[in-house]
Amino acid sequence: MIRFFGRWHILALSGCLAAWMLQNLHSLVPALLYGAFGLFLLWRRQFLLLSAAALLLVVTIIDIVYVQTNESLLSEGQRELNGRISGIPDFDGDHLRFQLKTEQGEDVLVEMRLVTELQKHTLMRDLKVGMACKVKGTLEKPERPGNFHGFDQKMYLERHHIYWILTLSSAPVYSETEQSPVEHIQRFQQEQIQFIHEHFTLTTAEMMNALLFGYDSQMSDELIDAYRMFGLVHLLVVSGMHIAVVFGALFYIFRRASIAREHALLLMLLLIPGYVVMTGSEPSIIRAGVTSGCLILSSWIKAIHLTVTDAISIACLLMVLFDPKIIYDLGFQLSFVVTLAVVLASKAVRSYKSLIVRMVVLSLICELATFPIIVSHFYQLSLAGIVLSIFFVPFITFIIFPLCVAAYFISLFFTELTPFLSYLIDSVLYWPHRLLFYLSQHPPLQLNYGALTGWEICVSILIIYSSLIVWEHYHNNRSIFILLVPFVFVYAMLFVSDRLDAHGSVTFLNVGQGDSIFIQFPYKKAAMLIDTGGTIMFNQEEKWRQRRKSFEVGRDVVARELLAERIGRLDAVVLTHRDYDHIGGLKGLTDQIPVSQLFVSPYHDPDAKDQALFRDLIKRGTRIAQLRSGMSLKFNETTFHVVAPEERSKESNDNSIVLHTELGGEQWLFTGDLSQDGEKRMLQAFPSIKADVLKLGHHGSRTSTSEEMLIRLQPKIGIISCGRRNRYGHPHPEVLQLLRAYHVRNLRTDQNGAIRFHFDRKRIIGWEQPRAP
């Protein structure tokens, strides 16, 4: 497994390193790796391959500079664009999104808010790939993430050569036009996806469209997340297995039809590109298609002899030369890493006599091979996926996929049978998916590795590589446990590293129009959250408007940030008051991360929904208690003094829990939504209170942060947590003017994104943000 460096492998690796280096000129890592790789070839006296690697570098430079689209020709503002629809339009609730290739040859992401249900049905019926389309709206740059570990849409789109999002101000104007061969195939794909969606139940349709046509946009995010959690998501992607089954069957049919072997191979070679386009042209299917094409050519032309790994390497090299940015694509990375791991380990795996043991070993090797990639993106890894794969791999491959193929072809001729076929597939999927959903909600053997740093990734790769060497040397039943060592060792390494870190942090998360403050104490002795944020719902949406997975700030922002920080449990969550923008994210958060203690105001007044959630949390081991003025919370050497509320107020905001503490040698005051009336009562009860860092009340509203408050507290820094372009006009200009008058530096989550302060026992070391103001 470790001795596979042939010429094609070296060239593929060289191409990937060259593409990585040239697109990360600010980073020394790819340059150092490329230099080390060159020295390795020089040491091995591989002068011809060294020259080829150098030539590849030159070719990649020319490709990136002169061939690839690396900058936009468009400008921001109101624009009217003409072009062609270049991808299948995606309808998600009342949201329409499609990709437009403009007349200038540049791709633009088009988005539209649908007004009526009739408009949605009309566009779903009419909009087709390859249509000429005229659009008018506002052209804007994609946003950078507002939190440290948020999804970077700008970077993601730029790596797919998309630099603008056009938000439509009116419906698109479209018309039929002459289509290219590729567009004809894409149109066929779209029509068949729509046919399946209309004739089969949702559960069956989403599985059929994913497995047959590589279209998973209709699949529920909860299901995809469950598959992803256990490392099974590759089973829902069209890849090499589909190529092998489809073209293996075709070859058999051709031979049974007395077509000469050479002619049968040629026919398959001609059909593969069309199949790749028809199934979505994702990196996994492109890799499988190019690899299969290389092997067919090798079989057809006797003078060419390629091994499977040679063909995989050639596919990698061609894909990188065609689009150097593809090296950042998650599907590209996983597809090649998993395929190479399976091929290289196959000989050693076959030495095990038991089929179950083979599957376990192969699953472990795949988990190890993809570990640095998966953990870097999702922060967690479940070892239960190794066991689940024993069932789900053959289940999807040999039962569901053939059933989907049979159901599709039968439905083309006997449409009236689709209800029965749907019932059959739904029934077969029911219990496996129930099991998967249950385990995803109660994940066993779930390890949270968090966001790995560069050196942590390097160390984990070395540990994995070493364990594979040892396993390959022995590969007996006992050596299987060697493959488990990296998972445990890396986790232990990170645990020890965290416990040796003498720094703590206070992070004001960017949760839009809301509050959520995460406090991590030195040596990771405790973790605390003040408020959870919450997306305010102004009206109940009609069913047709509802998204497949609506944005939930507790799950999608707060929990993600905490998981990235390797927080497996929160020691305390304080809900300052029951405004939804402060507590609405609690359920989404606690579904992901358990909470030891939950603190609320005595005047919280939970409604029926809150009470049901509190009862559920108590069942899961959370202790719920009340906090009022004069009480305190202690975490190790740090004490939080509760300075409000002292008594019930008619105004909900003045029932906010207000906390005062000292962190890093500075005084901090967290005020919730306290108004000026509440501030007066607090200052009367605690006349000597000071605050170097003040979290302004009520998102910078003019009803909070009085002049008297600033005079008494004498803050150096004021933090304002508010949403970008919020409908309330927060923060108010009068408040900002008051902060300037008293020389208080203001930091805002709507401009700075999340704001994180680092401290040790004696001082605040500094602060950082994910994006420039």
Residue written as token pair 């390959």: 472
Q: Which comes out higher in pLDDT, residue 2 or 447?
A: 447
Cα atoms in the 13 Å half-sphere on the side-chain side of 265: 14
The per-residue pLDDT for range 724-771, each reduced to its tens digit, is 888 888 999 999 999 999 999 999 999 999 999 999 988 999 999 986
Provide the pLDDT for residue 73.
81
Instruction: Provide the pLDDT for residue 538.
Output: 52
With a CB cutoff of 8 Å and minimum separation 6, the contacts of 34 are: 14, 17, 18, 21, 57
Q: Which residues contact 196 (CB under 8 A, 6 or more apart)?
A: 205, 208, 209, 212, 213, 408, 411
Q: Is the pLDDT of residue 531 over 80?
A: yes
More confident residue, 1 or 488: 488
Nearest to 15 by CA among 60, 48, 74: 60
pLDDT tens column, 243-274: 888 888 888 888 888 888 888 888 999 999 99
Q: What is the pLDDT of residues 59-81, one digit of tens each?
A: 888 888 777 777 788 888 878 99
Q: In what order do the strands lie in the sheet with 527-530?
A: 623-626, 597-600, 572-575, 527-530, 517-520, 504-508, 755-759, 764-768
Exposed, middle or buried by CB within 10 Å (0-12, 13-18, 19+), for 568? Answer: middle
Please name the residues in contact with 588: beta carbons below 8 A apart, sequence gap of 6 or more. Answer: 532, 552, 553, 554, 555, 556, 558, 559
Write b or e for each residue in 584-593: b if 16 or more Cβ atoms lie within 10 A of its Cβ, otherwise e.
bbbbbbbebb
Nearest to 697 by CA among 684, 716, 685, 710: 710
Residue with tokens 């439905």: 411
**773 — pLDDT class (breaks 50, 70, 90):** very low
Q: Output the DSSP codes for 200-233.
A: S-HHHHHHHHHHHH---TTS-HHHHHHHHHTT-G
Confidence of residue 549 (pLDDT cuts 50, 70, 90): confident
pLDDT of 696-708, one tens digit each?
A: 999 999 999 999 9
Categorize the per-residue pLDDT at 517 as very low, low, confident or very high, splitting at 50, 70 and 90: very high
Closest CA to 268 of 241, 243, 286: 243
Q: In this predicted structure, which of 295-299, 484-488, 575-579 has the lowest mean pLDDT?
A: 295-299
Q: Are 645 and 630 in contact (CB under 8 A)?
A: no
Phi and psi for 734 in degrees, rounded to 5?
-65, -40
Residue range 157-189, pLDDT digits in tens? 988 889 999 999 999 999 999 999 999 999 999
Contact (Cβ atoms closer than 8 angstroms) between residue 559 and residue 589: yes
Share the mean pLDDT of the chain: 89
Mean pLDDT of 336-345: 85
Q: What is the pTM of this model?
A: 0.90
**Contact partners, residue 354, CB within 8 Å, separation at least 6:** none
What tokens were used for 75?
């400008």
Stronger pLDDT, 163 or 239, i.e. the higher one: 163
Write the pLDDT tens digit of every residue in 362-394. 889 988 999 999 998 889 988 888 889 889 988
User: How many CB atoms are closer than 10 A to CB 22?
Assistant: 18
Give pLDDT, residue 25: 67
Which helix (H) or strand (E) segment is 413 a member of? helix 401-413
Q: Select from 220, 232, 251, 492 the least CA-distant residue to 359.
A: 232
What is the C-alpha separation between 141 and 463, in angstroms, rounded? 41
pLDDT, tens digit (0-9, with 9 covering 90-100), for 112-149? 999 999 999 999 999 999 999 999 999 999 988 999 99
Q: Which residue has the tokens 């501030």?
A: 679
pLDDT at 3 over 50: no
pLDDT tens digits, one per residue of 198-210: 999 999 999 999 9
Instruction: List, as one string, the DSSP characters of 129-154.
Output: TT-EEEEEEEEEPPPPPSSTTS--HH
Q: What is the CA radius of gyration of the chain?
A: 29
